Amino acid sequence: MSDALGVVGTPSHEVKLYDCRDAYSLALEAMAAADERVCALVSDSVSSTKLKSFSQKFPERFVNVGIAEQNLVGVAAGLANGGMIPFACAASCFLTARAMEQVKVDLGYSKSNVRLCGMSSGMAYGELGPTHHSIEDLAWTRIIPNLAVVVPADPAETAAAMHYSLGHKGPMFLRISRMPVRAVHAEGFEFTLGKAHTLRQGDDVTLMANGVMVSRALDAADLLAKRGIHARVLNMSSMSPMDVDAVLDAARSTRGIVTAEEALAAGGLGGAVAEILAVNHPAPMRILGVPGVFAPTGSAEFLLQHFGLTAAGIYNAALDLLGEKG
């Protein structure tokens, strides 16, 4: 992974951390250079969406609608009607909540070829408080028919999902994190909508995660391995459609499933997996997320620790599920 892809820190064990927004903005520029239908929209959020460079390179295909998210989504739908492939980019908390009716009607119901890029999702804006947290967005978006929902785990997957979206018919919501994450996929990774990506094989327990939680699930698998427990790790980046076969296979061939997401525990990844299991193959589950509260203030990392959204938290949940002592 090159340093151009936004290395944001190097922890003590020399693993590089990345801001996925860099991969997304580079991908968007590459697509715009190759395809003149690609355009970008923002709601005043030029810097937080990292599109300053795009706006300078493609000024005629860059639209700033002002602080107006409903308008942002409606205008994007109109651009798609006119034959463009718009990427509407804004802070996920405002893009989804403020414009939800437009997302439902102008995109999902209308099957508009619009890509929503929900930036700084989850609790990335930790210190700013619940108004700026976007932990409801997965529950809200994944139930809208026709709307594909993708939560990339790292820069390679972010870039791959962006490029994949170009050929996708219909609307797509991409939840792009700004929290530093390490690479979990090799460069050149190919994204496929509706497929879970198996990052580690194992038959004792399955750890499912998306976004920033994927690398933590891998770390939890390492901890479990030290106890002789073989955990399967699935990157469930494709929230909708979901890989039903992978979920059922995990339920059948391992002793249970732990899900982890930087979102409310209700209605998101855990909810989606539970819906599949309940009617097909009930299996023990632990669902890790924010437990039905508005999160307190604090840095994103503090909040993840606070809610046990860590390798240790996933590890303990897996032990609990397996009936073993921590």
- Footprint of another protein on this chain (CB under 8 A)? 39, 60-61, 63, 65-66, 68, 70-71, 73-84, 86, 101-102, 105-106, 109-111
Exposure on the CB side of residue 279, measured as CA atoms within 13 A: 5
State how far the alpha carbon of 140 is from the alpha carbons of 81, 206, 271, 324, in Å. 24, 25, 12, 35
Closer residue to another protein (CB): 67 or 278: 67
**Shortest Å, Cβ 132 to another protein:** 21
Closer residue to another protein (CB): 55 or 110: 110
Cα dihedral 193/194/198/202 (nearest 10): 180
**Shortest Å, Cβ 44 to another protein:** 12
**Shortest Å, Cβ 52 to another protein:** 19
Closer residue to another protein (CB): 144 or 288: 144
Backbone Cα Rg of the chain: 19
Residues 6+ apart with CB under 8 A from 118: 90, 91, 92, 95, 96, 134, 137, 173, 174, 175, 176
Closer residue to another protein (CB): 59 or 292: 59
- Beta carbons within 10 angstroms of residue 75's beta carbon: 20
**Shortest Å, Cβ 41 to another protein:** 9
Closer residue to another protein (CB): 105 or 312: 105
Residues composing the chain? 326
Closer residue to another protein (CB): 39 or 151: 39
Query: Percent helix, strand, coil in the chain (nearest 5)?
Result: 40, 20, 40
Helix (H, G, I), strand (E, B) or coil at 315: helix
Closer residue to another protein (CB): 100 or 153: 100
**Shortest Å, Cβ 114 to another protein:** 9
Cα dihedral 263/268/271/272 (nearest 10): -150
Closer residue to another protein (CB): 86 or 126: 86
Beta bridge partners of 186: none
**Shortest Å, Cβ 165 to another protein:** 18
**Shortest Å, Cβ 146 to another protein:** 10
N- to C-terminal Cα separation, the chain: 36
**Shortest Å, Cβ 283 to another protein:** 37
Q: How far apart are CA 20 and CA 152, in angstroms?
A: 8
Q: How far apart are CA 229 and CA 224, in angstroms?
A: 5
Strands in 181-182's sheet, in edge-to-edge order, are 7-9, 17-18, 181-182
